Structure 1
Amino acid sequence: MAKLTAIFSRRLRGWRFVLFNFALGLGNISAAFMAPTYLAIEPHTAGDLEGTFVSFVIWSQTYFFLAMTLGFPVGRVLAERYGNYRVYIVSMLILAVACYFCAISPGYLEFMYSRILLGLCAGISLLLGQELMLNEYPARSKITGVIIWGILSVMLFGMGPPIGGWLADEVNWRYLFYINGFIALIPAGLIGALLYDRGFHRVYRPFDFVGFLLFAALAYGIQALINMGNDFDWFESPFLRRVLLLTLIIFPYFIIWTSGQRHPLIDLSLFKRRTFVIGLIGVSIGFFAAQGLFSYLTLRLQTIMGYTSTLAGQEIFPLLLLTVPAAVGVALFSKYVDPRLLASLSLLGFAATCYWLGMYDQPGWYEQTFWPVFFMGIFFFSYMGPLTAIALRGLSNVQLIRAAETINMFRIAFGGLGIVSDGIIEYRRTPYHQLHLANHFGGRQYASYDVLEQFSEKLDKLGLDQVSIIARAGRLIHEEAGVLTVADAFLLGSFTLLGLATLVWFVPANKPPIIPPTPIQEELLEEKIETAEVTD
């Protein structure tokens, strides 16, 4: 191990410490803000980028998440070799450049490649930003720093869609990237000034580059299959068949390669622990459902219900009102309550609110989504802390770091899969509902009950001709089928979360180990027994 000769400064104090936290907060906003904010501007982006399909534009969001996943291991090895604050500054500068490229992209492909670069820099920045923050906090205050960082991340999820929607409606969606790029330059400059001449120990830890390439190819192969399946008829497409074949070849080779490495990208020995596997499944599938459902709801409110991007983003805002206090409360009480109970209750509450939204089968009811989304805020992020504690239980320091990085990688990767997976429900269930509603309207379901005739008579009295009446009926069927499909997605999400709440109880109770008494303790116990007998 080689060391770089440098001066190691003391921790920041006073106004420098406050300014340091402000800079890292802006960096967190710039890196994480583009994930939730993009939800509300997808229709605008699709229309402006050469009029591409909305389903294609979603790919840029899923690849963004996947690039964030790959940013974690890349950021770790670069920080060890060049210093965490130096890599952080460079990543924020490149992030600003990527935002600029996104803003000026004339076509979809240029935009998607810029989003991938943006996601990679965002993953590196989030990882190193939290590390820089914890390094400046004293040991007794580190939990406070973690809570502040978590609160900021949670707030972005609720505030991002309304802000992005307003910018898209009132200004232009491209200004979202211009503004974010400008914000990214501020923490880069402030951190560089505050930590100037800060030294570090250079560590040449082996990096599993082959394993990284295999994991990236495997992850992007799976993501491409899910992204393109609906639009290209799944495995009827020769290209997707080749992608599937390549993915099936890479997967076992990745397992074999990783098993033989001393410093693997993913420590497969962790998957031998039941607690880690269940915790990882809970965090990943939970975030899969959460990210997918709200992405789908925000998009369908615009494409089916005719909501503006601002209104669609505001539907998510009530989530913020209780999410922060609930997450802080769970973090504070997790030391005193069984994490299985906290995780199970959070998942059950999340499932109940998803079921509540799944009962919304009429377009007008979406004006009343405030209360289910409001109460969902209690459970939205509360399950992650207890499930992470379950996954990390009983691990050594080295395993703990690897396990935490693995959990973050899988959580973000599954979030990207969740965004596009609800499109599968749309493609499968919408035609079913349209056929069912057409049969109902056309009198083919009940011969004695012709809804279309009654509907036509009402519109005929309003002066509409027959062509307009049929077109209006078709639009109503299309809208109602879309609403029922959204309800199906939330019901499926509810049942999935219910299964996770049950799975948590397969984790063994965290009982303290039974330590046999030492010979001295046995002698003292015998003396106490003899003394008690004499006294009697």
Structure 2
Amino acid sequence: MTDDIKPLTGPALLLAGMVLALTNFMVVLDTTIANVSVTHIAGALGISSTQGTWVITSYAVAEAICVPLTGWLTGRFGAVRTFTWGMIGFGLFSFLCGLSNSLAMLVVCRIGQGLCGGPLMPLSQTLMLRVFPKRQHGQAMSLWATTTVVAPIIGPILGGTISDGWSWNWIFFINVPVAAVCAYGALRLLKSAETRIERLSVDKVGLMLLILWVGAFQLMLDLGREHDWFNDGMIVTLAVIAAIGLALFVAWEVTAKQPIVDLRVFRHRGFTVSVTSLSFAFAVFFVAAVLIPQWLQQNLGYTATYAGYVTAFSGVGAVLVSPLVVSLSTRFDPRALVFFGILWMGITSLLRVQWASNADFWTLSLPQLLQGVGLPFFIVPLTTIGLGAVKPEETASAAGIMSFLRTMAGAVGTSISTTMFADGAVVARSEIVSKLNSDATSQTLTNSGFSLEQIRAVIEQTVVQESYALSIDHVFLLSAITFAVAATIIWLAPRPDRAVEAGAMH
């Protein structure tokens, strides 16, 4: 096999582009489609909503771990072969997710789904650049980017509609026919785009240490609240394993000849600053995508469908301003664009701080729409700053690390925020009860014809609703502060002195 391939033309090119775009759309869709279905899943499996978020974090962590392996898998087995088997595995594990009747089975299958889906996003991008003629690379990347932006909008709406209209299982079953069509299309259309196969060695020690510390860290975050955090020996053990594993991982990777994650790119100040800013900003951005649907369904009586509509507005804002950001990025300092984008997202988070349990649909949706406007302003320029700071031959490694940290940040942010949300509601409830004039409230309800049991139920429901409203307000206040910090530190990065090639970022 050779890398000097002849690009496709005519119907074959059109079909190949559709297969690759649809694959990317499906993989990105699965990062958000389950967000609004957590309540349905938790109810069906008899688990808490906090445990239900493991469905989100397990997929994200598995995907993050597998992304650094994409380069090795491509070199060892070929891009098309890796892509095809990844699609087959993704479809199989999607089917098993839909059949799951316990949390353990669902989480294990979501991990399998994430491991198979991890390489598909970067490979779909790589293969597009191989099958499209060079003069059409801009159009190819535009198509790829469109699916990346649109999928998070469709995900919550589709997930909510399916969960309400059919059952939560179908948010996974719908992947199966898509995966089958894309795998078959790859076999028939992409053979000529196969890459050279080499007998590459893999950094086995680095991979094992990566799985060890990331797995222990995520388990600590997911299980911490239920086990009273560091008052429990298991959580302490997981924390120690994660800390030691991370230290060993860093020590090994900076000295290995062929590291699975090339940590040496962190010597570039621009890259280090940009991924730090990206991680904090994306973590708190993802918090809203997870917490808001839960709060709307559990405490405000929203259906999964309407919770999906509210959540999806952030993507609408992103789509509307993306063309503007592309034109501005060639005329302004990218650091200024990042600063504006992240700070704007922080300011719009403040609009949520005054949310109450009687907020109407547009009071909840408007901050989502406005916050989405800031998303392209920090994602695109941050890529330019981070990848523009490293050497050209380090671009692929740097892009993999950026993707890994962005995905991990979303998983970590989800785990921390759900704990804060639940614990904050307990504290708020205590404060409300201590200040509640129950006698006056009871007398008012008695005069309205309520029985004693009804009075207790009304008071309890009101207290619970308001305690969760106060808790989510506090989470978004902290989110606004985190956005402000992430925006400010970008000025520590030097201005990039080179352009980033199309397709460099996954």
User: Which TM-score tier does this pair reach, normalised by the shorter chain?
Assistant: over 0.9
| CA distance in structure 2 between the aligned counterparts of 1:38 and 1:268, rounded to whole angstroms | 32
Alignment match, 1:515: none
Residue 366 and residue 494 in structure 1: after superposition, are their counterparts in 2 closer, same or farther (change >3 A)? farther
**Where does residue 35 of structure 1 map in the other structure?**
31
- Residues 68-126 of structure 1: CA deviation (Å, up to 9, x unaligned): 11221222211112210111011101111101111111211111110000011111111
Question: C-alpha offsets along residues 156-202 of structure 1, whole Å, 9 cap, x if unaligned?
Answer: 11111111111111111112211111111111111211123555322
Q: CA deviation at 1:510?
A: 4.8
CA contact (8 A) 1:363 1:483 kept: no
Counterpart of 1:356 (choices 331, 351, 362) is 351
- Larger gyration radius, structure 1 or structure 2: 1
SS in 1 for 2:174: helix
Residue 489 of structure 1 aligns with an amino acid whose one-letter code is V
- Which of 168, 177, 183 pairs up with 1:182? 177
What is the aligned partner in structure 1 of residue 189 from structure 2? Answer: 194
Q: How far apart, in 1, do the equivalents of 2:339 and 2:216 lie? A: 33
User: Counterpart of 2:386?
Assistant: 391
Q: For the residues of structure 2 that align with 1:306 and 1:199, how far apart are their CA atoms?
A: 51
**Which residue of the other structure, out of 398, 406, 409, is the alignment partner of 1:403?**
398
Matches within 5 A, 1:454-469: 454-469=440-455
Matching of residues 96-495 of structure 1 within 5 Å:
96-196=91-191, 198-365=193-360, 368-442=363-437, 452-495=438-481
Deviations 1:179-226 (A, max 9, x none): 111111111111211123555322333321210110111111111111
User: Unaligned stretches of 5+ in structure 2?
Assistant: 499-506
Is the contact made by 1:434 and 1:481 (CA closer than 8 Å) also made in structure 2? Answer: yes
Post-superposition Cα deviations, 1:225-256, rounded to whole Å, max 9, x if no partner, equal 11111111111222112212222221221122
Describe the superposition over 1:265-294 as per-residue Cα deviations: whole angstroms up to 9, x where unpaired.
Answer: 222222222111110011111111111122
Shift in alpha-carbon separation, 1:199–1:489, aligned structure 2, 3 A = closer
Residues of 1 paired with 2:121 and 2:313: CA distance? 25
What is the alpha-carbon distance in structure 1 between the residues aligned to residue 194 and residue 106 of structure 2?
A: 38
Q: Take 2:321 and 2:198, find their aligned partners in 1: how far apart are those partners?
A: 39
- The residue type equivalent to 2:26 in the other structure is S
CA distance in 2, matches of 1:436, 1:287: 32
Q: May I ask how many residue pairs the two structures share in their alignment?
A: 498
- 1:338–1:367 distance in 2 versus 1, CA, 3 Å: closer
Q: Which amino acid aligns with 1:411?
A: R
After TM superposition, the score normalised by the length of structure 1 is: 0.89
Distance 1:463 1:310 in 2: 35
Equivalences for residues 48-59 of structure 1 within 5 A: 48-49=44-45, 51-59=46-54
Cα shift at 1:360: 1.4
Q: Distance in 1 between matches of 2:258 and 2:444?
A: 72
Deviations 1:5-30 (A, max 9, x none): x7965111111111111111221122
Instruction: Give TM-score scaled by structure 2 length.
Output: 0.94
1:46 pairs with 2:42: yes
| Secondary structure class of the residue paired with 2:332 | coil
Instruction: Return 324-333 or 80-89, whichever deviates more.
Output: 324-333
Q: Residues 167 and 507 (structure 1 numbering): CA distance in 2 closer, same or farther, change over 3 Å? A: same
Q: Distance in 2 between matches of 1:510 and 1:39?
A: 36
Q: Distance in 1 between matches of 2:96 and 2:209?
A: 28
2:471 is aligned with what amino acid? T
More off after superposition, 119-128 vs 464-473: 464-473
Structure 1 vs Structure 2 CA RMSD: 1.8
Give the AA of the match of 1:82.
Answer: F
2:501 aligned partner: none
More displaced 10-residue stretch of structure 1: 22-31 or 96-105:
22-31
The answer on whether the counterparts of 2:28 and 2:148 sit within 8 Å (CA) in structure 1 is yes
- Give, in angstroms, the shift of residue 314 of structure 1: 1.1
Of the three residues 501, 521, 524, the one matched with 2:487 is 501
Q: Which residue of 2 aligns with 1:13?
A: 9
Q: 1:8·1:198 contact (CA, 8 Å) conserved in 2?
A: no
Does 2:88 match 1:93?
yes
Go from structure 1 to structure 2 and tell me whether the alpha carbon gap of 1:394 and 1:61 turns closer, same or farther (over 3 Å shift): closer
CA pair 138-334 structure 1, distance change in 2 beyond 3 A = farther
Which amino acid in structure 2 is aligned with residue 455 of structure 1? T
Q: Could you tell me which residue of structure 2 aligns to residue 519 of structure 1?
A: none
Cα distance in structure 2, aligned partners of 1:457 and 1:366? 33
2:35 and 2:290 in contact (8 A); partners too? yes
C-alpha distance in 2, partners of 1:117/1:200? 25
Deviations 1:27-86 (A, max 9, x none): 11222211101001111111222x122211211210110111122122221111221011
Out of 23, 38, 61, the residue aligned to residue 19 of structure 2 is 23
Distance 1:500 1:199, change over 3 A: closer
- For residue 35 of structure 1, what is the amino acid of its counterpart? T
Aligned to 1:447: none
1: CA distance, partners of 2:392 / 2:496 = 19
SS in 1 for 2:145: helix
SS in structure 1 opposite 2:359? helix
Q: Compared with structure 1, are the counterparts of its residues 399 and 7 closer, same or farther at alpha carbon in structure 2 (3 Å cutoff)?
A: closer
How far apart are the structure 1 equivalents of 2:473 and 2:145?
A: 30
Which amino acid in the other structure matches residue 72 of structure 2? Answer: V
